[in-house]
Chain A
Amino acid sequence: MASTSRGDYIPKVQCPNHPEAILVEDYRAGDMICPECGLVVGDRVIDVGSEWRTFTNEKETKDPSRVGDAQNPLLNGGDLTTMISKGTGAASFDEFGNSKYQNRRTMSSSDRAMLNAFKEITTMADRINLPRNIIDRTNNLFKQVYEQKSLKGRSNDAIASACLYIACRQEGVPRTFKEICAVSRISKKEIGRCFKLILKALETSVDLITTGDFMSRFCSNLGLPKQVQMAATYIARKAVELDLVPGRSPISVAAAAIYMASQASAEKKTQKEIGDIAGVADVTIRQSYRLIYPRAADLFPADFKFDTPVDKLPQL
């Protein structure tokens, strides 16, 4: 058993046989090993591995290896703060029943608003079941806008809602303004304003919305079968190609196409139902429907099975 050479000014751990050899550290066993002869030189080196073994299928909330929350480096810039949590035992309450140590230390006050906004974004996204990647993108956008400070006067919630809208667009799954309105307390007008301001501030642009982006969502919400959905997608695309509906919002055209497709199939939906799901007034659906009705025969896909033939389609 080798030991550190005493009497030296610098206690240096070295192998007695090979003083020049650089010792290899085996942290698992806590040893320093000489690579030349394999002699274990130093022992009882502090083990930096995890104290507890963690298995992936155990409850994920409690990870005994961690000593704090998972760091969010992209967004926060590393807040290593200590908070005082609410007490559990009887000793943490003084007389009158108030808890001692009431003040949980404020964490990173400069980013408090940003953290609040992230929470709000997650809440909003949760209401419409948006996946994690959109939430992350929204958080990134919000962070960029917040750091730029060009939209400082605007309500954070409005900016968060607009960021959510932009993120959905950028990921290729756009949500209508009305859908975002439904999960946010901000008006459509304000979200629209913030949307334009953010695009200018970040100097990005977004792709135009098409009718096909919304088909799968609207049709599944209405419970229409795949055949009808495909037919509606085809009708809407054809209608825009043939330019039968100039100046109409793609949402209205999509709604009218769904109406036409559903009326031609066995699953007939009323204009009111479709208007409810799409966020479009039923008179708007009627208007767009009137524009596509004359060419109805051309708009249907070739392999569509008609439950109601084209000439028996309702004429509004």
Chain B
Amino acid sequence: MGIVMGTFSMQPKQGGFRKDKAEDELEMTVVCHRPEGLEQLEAQTKFTKRELQILYRGFKNECPSGLVNEDTFKQIYAQFFPHGDASTYAHYLFNAFDSGQNGSVKFEDFVMALSILLRGSIREKLRWTFNLYDLNKDGYINKEEMTDIVRAIYDMMGKYTYPVLRDEAPRQHVDAFFQKMDKNKDGVVTLDEFIASCQEDDNIMQSLQLFENVI
């Protein structure tokens, strides 16, 4: 008999359930974004039309709505680094790509950043990298920011490394970095110091040219 009473009492709850679902569906309208025309993008970036087409096809395949949010960005980046945890570095990258700081990357942002990275001058590349490292965008890189970045890079390696990854490794790396970059030893690296130091280092210059033929 108690069961009968129970079944009677269950009916009104289901009605409320259905109402919630309907509201959720209304909210789930897809936000779509279409990029500017192909000619405009071609003018703004250093890519040819064909390259932009290839880029856009890949972009649209992964993000049909035309916008990448941070989670998708992290997922995509994590696929390339299955060994470790790429989410922190992907977060910093996302902030660097998201020039408008509005939480999503449009195709234009994507393509502009790629244009700088792949086809830009040395100075532009270094400025972009400085922007990446400068987490709070105040124009200075201090030790904490650099430690965060380096730690994020080390996180991507994962656990199974040779030699075994230890906690002091990022810090040592940052110390070495600052020793090289911080010319006036004031504890922060400015853009000019950064560019100057990088231009002095042959290794860095060489590696910046590495990805020219990516597309």
Q: Do A and B bind?
A: no
